[in-house]
Chain A
């Protein structure tokens, strides 16, 4: 639930999602759900030459389970808040 809340605070920020098939998509985070499925707008494929079939796609829904990493905007995050929330959540029972 913690990470879900983090993603919710990052809506309308630009993130880069790296999938398990090495596809890298940069776009504006529009929404996220409890499974950490992600909807991106105004997308751009970073390694477009390896994935030419993605050229025409402008927005997409990404299933949470195929995501490897998400590169987040560090300036939009409160690290102290993040660590306190993690301690609180791990204290009660994860």
Chain B
């Protein structure tokens, strides 16, 4: 029954990522990378040392290939509301 350690339900994966750096994909072409300190059942989260990446597609005239800009910013401590979360990816293990 016990397959890999303590992972039995999806939230276990997030619990094991506590105090580790996670990647969070959000609605609105946003992505965060930060250290996870708290979360709840809504996937509201508190992250520290966060880098936010926003993909911005600049409007261009018809027929022209759209250019994509990437805006990054750093935030020391951040609460993220769970309703915008698409996925949480645990730290890469080598």
Report if A86-B39 is in contact (Cβ < 8 Å); known contacts: A6-B46, A74-B48.
Answer: yes
Residues from 79 to 93 in B contacting A, C-beta threshold 8 Å: 79-81, 83-84
Q: Does A50 sit at the interface, judged by CB under 8 A? A: no
Question: Is B15 in contact with A90, judged by CB distance below 8 angstroms?
Answer: yes
For the side of the interface on B, what is the size category? Answer: 20 to 34
Candidates A67, A71, A73, A83; contact of B18 at CB < 8 Å: A83
Looking at chain A's contact residues, the main secondary structure is: helix
Taking CB atoms, residues of chain B closer than 8 Å to A82 are: 37-38, 46
- A1 to B39 alpha-carbon distance, docked (Å): 10
Q: Does A56 sit at the interface, judged by CB under 8 A? A: no
Q: Does A48 sit at the interface, judged by CB under 8 A? A: no
Binary contact track B11-22/A, C-beta < 8 Å → 1, others 0: 100010011000
- A79 to B76 alpha-carbon distance, docked (Å): 13
Q: Does A58 sit at the interface, judged by CB under 8 A? A: no
Candidates A3, A73, A77, A90; contact of B44 at CB < 8 Å: A3
- A67 to B78 alpha-carbon distance, docked (Å): 12
Question: Is B46 in contact with A94, judged by CB distance below 8 angstroms?
Answer: no
Taking CB atoms, residues of chain A closer than 8 Å to B83 are: 65
- A7 to B80 alpha-carbon distance, docked (Å): 13
The interface of chain A, by Cβ under 8 A from chain B, is 1-3, 6-7, 20, 36, 64-65, 67-74, 77, 79, 82-83, 85-87, 89-90, 94
The interface of chain B, by Cβ under 8 A from chain A, is 11, 15, 18-19, 26, 28, 37-41, 44, 46, 48, 75-81, 83-84
A-B pairs, top 3 by smallest CB distance, nearest first, are A94-B41, A74-B77, A70-B79
